[in-house]
Amino acid sequence: MFVVESICVAWFTFEFVLRFINAQSKLAFARGPLNIIDAVAILPYYVSLVVDVRDESQDEMVMGAGRGYLDKLSLILRLLRALRILYVMRLARHSLGLQTLGLTMQRSMREFGLLLLFVCVAVTLFSPLVHLAESELAPYAATHPQNSFSSIPATYWWAIISMTTVGYGDMVPRSIPGQMVALTSILSGILIMAFPATSIFHTFSRSYQELKQEYERLWKEERGEEIAAESEEMCSKVELTSIELTSLSRFDNLQLVAEREDHSTLPTTVF
């Protein structure tokens, strides 16, 4: 796996350097989001080669501040190695769907902000209600503290997974008032998720059509350039052929003139 990764990283690095050299504006190239992702994905490999993380057996022998420094360095390197998953984002260069998704998220930041605001307000509203219903009205919480809603901040997790209709089941209301609050929160979550979905869908559809038209335009331009190059080549061949024919016709005319001159100079007794 190390050999395969080394070959892939070497190819990605070579491609990145060539694109950087051929870029007209180096600053615009450095600011490109896809180029930043490429750099962040390639960099951890070289960092891990330069800085070698010691084994756990060696770390146990180090005490004091040196051990803490190595632990922090090891954590940083693990985080950098985890960033290698960004190699997948390179598919966005060749995938119309991923480009559409990124453009939709960029254009729908206001809708996503409204969605986050709605969810935060609803979580802040339903968390105290379910905590009150379960802590005051549910005797089950006293006998099974591991399933109880111990505090309002702890119930935020329950409110989030309930409103997003995930429902892990790790925190479940047992009392009738708590279940009523849970039902209300689930229905509210469905409505809240549905509010900005229509706008985001239209943005996605519009972005997809725009990118598709752009791809078709670029393909037509490339095809037009190829056709123009082929036509120029054909025209050059036709011109060469016409020049050859012209030269041949001139040569034939000169031969005819020469033959006539030869016939005119012969004596009449030959005929």
Count up the domains in the chain and report the number.
Answer: 2
Task: Supply the angle between the helices 2-22 and 33-50 in degrees, to the nearest 10.
Answer: 130
- The answer to the question of residue 252 being in a domain is no
**Residue 37 reports pLDDT greater than 50:** yes
Q: Which domain holds residue 105?
A: 95-237
The CATH number covering residue 47 comes to: 1.20.120
| Residue 123 pLDDT class (50, 70, 90 cuts) | very high
**Residue 258 reports pLDDT greater than 60:** no
Same domain? For 9 and 107 the reply is: no
Same domain? For 189 and 220 the reply is: yes
**Residue 143 reports pLDDT greater than 60:** no
Sign, CA dihedral 98-102-103-105, equals positive
**Residue 20 reports pLDDT greater than 60:** yes
Same domain? For 199 and 163 the reply is: yes
- The answer to the question of residue 262 being in a domain is no
**Residue 60 reports pLDDT greater than 80:** no
Same domain? For 88 and 216 the reply is: no
- The answer to the question of residue 107 being in a domain is yes
Share of the chain above pLDDT 90, in %: 8
Query: Model confidence over 177-230: pLDDT tens digits?
Result: 888 999 999 999 999 888 888 888 889 888 888 888 888 888 888 788 778 777
Q: Maximum Cα–Cα distance for the chain, whole Å? A: 145
Return the number of other C-beta atoms located less than 10 Å from residue 186's C-beta.
Answer: 15
Same domain? For 77 and 101 the reply is: no
Contact 174, 143 (CB under 8 A): no
Contact 56, 86 (CB under 8 A): no
Same domain? For 121 and 155 the reply is: yes
- The answer to the question of residue 260 being in a domain is no
Of the listed ranges 43-57, 59-73, 97-111, the one predicted with least confidence: 59-73
Same domain? For 63 and 177 the reply is: no
DSSP 160: H
* pLDDT score at 67: 53
Same domain? For 76 and 158 the reply is: no
| E strand or H helix that includes residue 43 | helix 33-50
The CATH number covering residue 187 comes to: 1.10.287.70
Same domain? For 102 and 227 the reply is: yes
CA distance 56 to 261: 107
Same domain? For 103 and 52 the reply is: no
Sign, CA dihedral 68-71-76-77, equals positive
Share of the chain above pLDDT 70, in %: 66
DSSP 237: H
**Residue 63 reports pLDDT greater than 80:** no
Contact 225, 201 (CB under 8 A): no
Return the number of other C-beta atoms located less than 10 Å from residue 156's C-beta.
Answer: 16
**Residue 83 reports pLDDT greater than 80:** no
52 conformational bin, left if phi > 0, alpha if psi -120 to 50, beta if neither: beta
| Residue 35 pLDDT class (50, 70, 90 cuts) | confident
- The answer to the question of residue 256 being in a domain is no
**Residue 257 reports pLDDT greater than 70:** no
Same domain? For 198 and 72 the reply is: no
Query: What's the rounded mean pLDDT across residues 43-49?
Result: 76
Same domain? For 163 and 120 the reply is: yes
Average pLDDT over the chain, rounded to an integer = 75
DSSP 164: T
CA distance 36 to 42: 10
**Residue 271 reports pLDDT greater than 60:** no
- The answer to the question of residue 50 being in a domain is yes
- The answer to the question of residue 248 being in a domain is no
